[in-house]
Structure 1
Amino acid sequence: MWIGVWLTFMGAPVSDLADGSHTTWAVVLGALGLVVFVAAYLITIFRHTSRLLDRRAVYGILLFQLTLAVVLPLTMGTAWLVLFVYVSVSAGAALPLSGARLAIPAVTGAMVLVGFHKEDAADFLTALVIPALLGGFAMSGVRQLVRTTVELREARAAVAELAANEERLRLARDLHDLLGHSLSLITLKSELAGRMLPGRPDRAAEQIADIERVSRQALTDVREAVTGYRRPTLPGELAGARTALAVAGIVAEVPGEIPELLPEGELAEECEAALAWSLREAVTNVVRHSGARRCTVTLAPRQTLDGPVLELTVEDDGGGHGASAVTGHGGAAPGNGLTGLSERLAKIGGTLETDASRRGFVLTARAPIGTPLGSAA
């Protein structure tokens, strides 16, 4: 619509062609020149405003338009001076702002110089100088607005893609943490039920019932994780750790619930969730990989240079070979589980450390007490 407004100025040369003051050849050549000029104008406006043309093509089209704008008024009459307005608008649309600042006044000045060669051009020039200047600079603004809109759309698409990638990463971490823990427990109980089945069918039935319960809970957890509502708690994971370690035949030293350690409300939900995931992953690794006979879990507030933190430590007396394969000791790459935990803790300003201890393997996770770093940002 904005471009269509400027086409109304073409009424002057069209009327000049139709008034019968020119020869047939002049009308034909004038009409051909007008059609070619309008085509070059529309190509410049439509193509370059939305997608940049080659710089040489831009300068070539503008020079061609300027040539027609000079030749047609000199040969056809004063009414054709309006073509300079279109050259000015094209310069505003195709040239960068620094170049348009010079080109638009220059085109307007060329229109005035050509008009001086026509005796009846004074009133016509007066009416065209302001549209030539304002039209060119207004088109510069419109061109910048169009380009900005295009860039915003591209940026919006990029942000949407990044958000989708982040959501896929979150789901991958959640599903790994959820299913890894639950399937490990199901595997252990299945093996236990298999050993009990010949001689103690009643105990085997209990284990199978536990398998069904764990399977149903895992299904519920997966559904909650997919919808983004699941937020594990430390008390729940501490109880789960005791159960998982006991089923695996590992002596467990697990502390009581969080309210025994901190005043209620001091630990943000994001920090508690990150520590709960860390505890779940650490216990799963102890059960599956360590070959340990004893596992100690401690929770204690600490004061660091970055502020107060709640420190979770999970230490086992295993050989460390399984833990090394999962965490990257001995040159192995970190596994998906602990890599996901590191990312979770980093988002809230926490840290994750894994190392071999004198007795076996130790995992230490720290989360800030109070407002997490991610929430403060």
Structure 2
Amino acid sequence: MGLTTDPAPPGAAVPGTGPEAPSRRPAASDDPASLTVVPARHYGRWAAAAAVTVLVAQFAHGLVTNPVWEWAVFRDYVLSETIVQAVGVTLQLTAYATVLGFLLGTVLAFMRLSRSPVLRTVAWTYVWIFRSIPMIVQLVFWFNLGALYRELGVGIPFGPVLWSVDSNSLIGTIGAALIGLSLHQAAYAAEIVRGGVLSVDHGQLEAAAALGIPRLRQIRRIVLPQAMRAILPTAGNEIIGLLKGTSVVYVMAIGELFYQVQVVYGRNGRVIPLLMVATAWYVFLTSVLSVAQYYVERRYARGADRTPPPTPLQRVRRLVPDLGTANENRPRTAKENS
């Protein structure tokens, strides 16, 4: 048999817990000031950073010292009149195809969101076809449209043609390129806009309908401003892809950037430096578009993020006064005081 201890009666004081019980002294290890702080050693991170630094330095050294790059030829052509004009053609193709593609893509997106099965089917079929065919195939097809339709006309459906025009004179080389780029871009823009609209809470539309707001105004003033936060990141990425994708129109002998670079190095044989010219311009243009995308996204995020992080320019402006204040507060030498 074992020994048992009777529980204390209710109200009885437990030894060592009363007001006169000695207070427990904290051990030395409980005091944070007495603890020894040992920083973590990230040896793997340091080794990886050192290896990457060496590789980057080696690559930069090769760019500067390798004579194959021919930087003198690069300097002669990077701002030449021919290349600058080609950059202008590239920007025109990008701008027109972006505007037309997103306008048509927005219409297709709302057709897919429509309750009409006919509109949904037509929009889905369009997106399916134009996303399935490579862009270069579409461009070549539109370039040879005159072989399929010699004349384009307007008239009564399945009836007489009231007005017609030669397709080659109506759709030139630039026109065929714009049609191909815009139609291809519209298929992707439709899915981007549709995804942004679906990201808006459906209760917003229900509340707007309960207030008697017309359907078109609901889309223009309620849905699209909120959907832009989801649309802009993907749309910006798609526009940058379109800028680089305009190089495909070289198959149509249009004088855009990549085609002109090919023409120049086909004449002088300086392939590497001319390719670096095209690379430098594409990097510059995509960087400008990325900066513009950053500020547009920041503007449309004001409703969701009331305290957005400072922009790089704001950080620089804050850093300059801080450096000036630190310079004023530093102790002056006797020579400076004199």
> Smaller-chain TM-score range?
under 0.3
TM-score (norm 2): 0.23
TM-score (norm 1): 0.21
Bigger CA radius of gyration: 1
Structure with the higher strand share, 1 or 2 = 1
